[in-house]
Amino acid sequence: MPRRLSTLLSIAALSGAVVLAGCGEDTAGQPASATLEAITVSGDDPTKEPEVSVEAPVEVERTESEVVTDGSGDEVSADDLVSIQAVLLNATDGKVVTSTWENGPVGLDLGAEELFASFKSEIPGKKVGSRMVIASTPADAYGDTGNQQLGITKDDPVIFVVDLVGTSTVLDEATGTEVAPKKGLPTVEMNEGKPATITVAKDAKAPKDTVVQPLIEGEGAKVEKGQTVRVAYTGALLRNGEVFDSSANRPEQPYFEFAVGGGQVIKGWDEGILGQPVGSRLLLVIPPKDGYGDAGSGDTIKGDDTLVFVVDILAAY
């Protein structure tokens, strides 16, 4: 796989918080109660972390939300990928337990079953650029387990102050303008639902530096450092064309996500995908220095192996 580290959970900046969802009920659209009156959010600069004060303890009988500052961007849909900044507080004592603002926005997949019920019910319908408060019941946040790392028990309601930074829909495959690759590069044949076929010439020479060859130039925004990207890919060895990994081999989740520029993947991916438009299909030919180095990876990838990847950029958020 292209990973150097284990897969980063999309909300790891919240200490694993959002991926431990309860199964509470959807309360979006109901009128806000006095619960939200106990929460004060100061600061309307979207580039700065808001100050939040809470008249604790706050009892949350049902999950509800309120928009503090209304954005002017696109309306978020229920299955969108969204980029957020968030401050999380324990409603029992009113204390901030974690925040994304130190390290930057994180991505959420609103369509993911394991996401907090309070996020899935309250974020859709809001506009990008909005700052909102979510008061969540324990069941709609950490469920029956709480979160020991954050000091939240199974009985603690949770308050989120969320800035909706951006949103992205997910493509099924690369979409855009086809680009004729340079001569001498490996050729690619896409196979629906199966790994791509990568054909390498017998006299193929390993490049000194990573080659980034668009095969399709996407029509979306360019990928920025720190964004989470969703990609589909197939990887093969330059020396024999043997496929060693493909997201298509995991039909239950035929894609891979990582934060660009964060060192979670090999250098050839981090630098090769940066700046490319969403919707692009890339051919990456990656020498060892930008791949797995002298150590190689597992029994298949040797220390002197050059890697060939075909990568579809399906979303960035």
Q: pLDDT tens, 28-60?
A: 445 556 799 999 999 888 899 999 999 999 999
Residue labelled with tokens 């520029």? 261
37 by DSSP, 3-state: which? helix
What per-residue confidence (pLDDT) applies to 104?
83
Please count the other Cβ atoms lying within 10 Å of the Cβ belonging to residue 73: 14
d(CA 39, CA 91): 9
16-37: average pLDDT: 52
At residue 163, does pLDDT exceed 90? Answer: yes
At residue 17, does pLDDT exceed 50? Answer: no
What per-residue confidence (pLDDT) applies to 28?
46
At residue 16, does pLDDT exceed 60? Answer: no
Give me the numbers of helices (H) and strands (E) for the chain, helices first please: 2, 17
Which spans in the chain are helix H? 117-122, 267-273
Task: Quickly state the pLDDT bin for 2 (edges 50, 70, 90).
Answer: low
At residue 268, does pLDDT exceed 80? Answer: yes
**167: closest CA among 82, 227, 85, 231?**
82
- Contacts of 286-291 with CB under 8 Å at 24 or more apart are 286/210, 286/211, 287/206, 287/207, 287/208, 287/209, 287/210, 290/209, 290/210, 290/266, 291/266, 291/267
239-266: average pLDDT: 94
Q: Could you give the domains of the chain?
A: 12-168 (3.10.50.40), 176-316 (3.10.50.40)
Q: Which two tokens stand for residue 52?
A: 């939040």
182-211: average pLDDT: 95
Task: Quickly state the pLDDT bin for 290 (edges 50, 70, 90).
Answer: very high
What per-residue confidence (pLDDT) applies to 107?
85
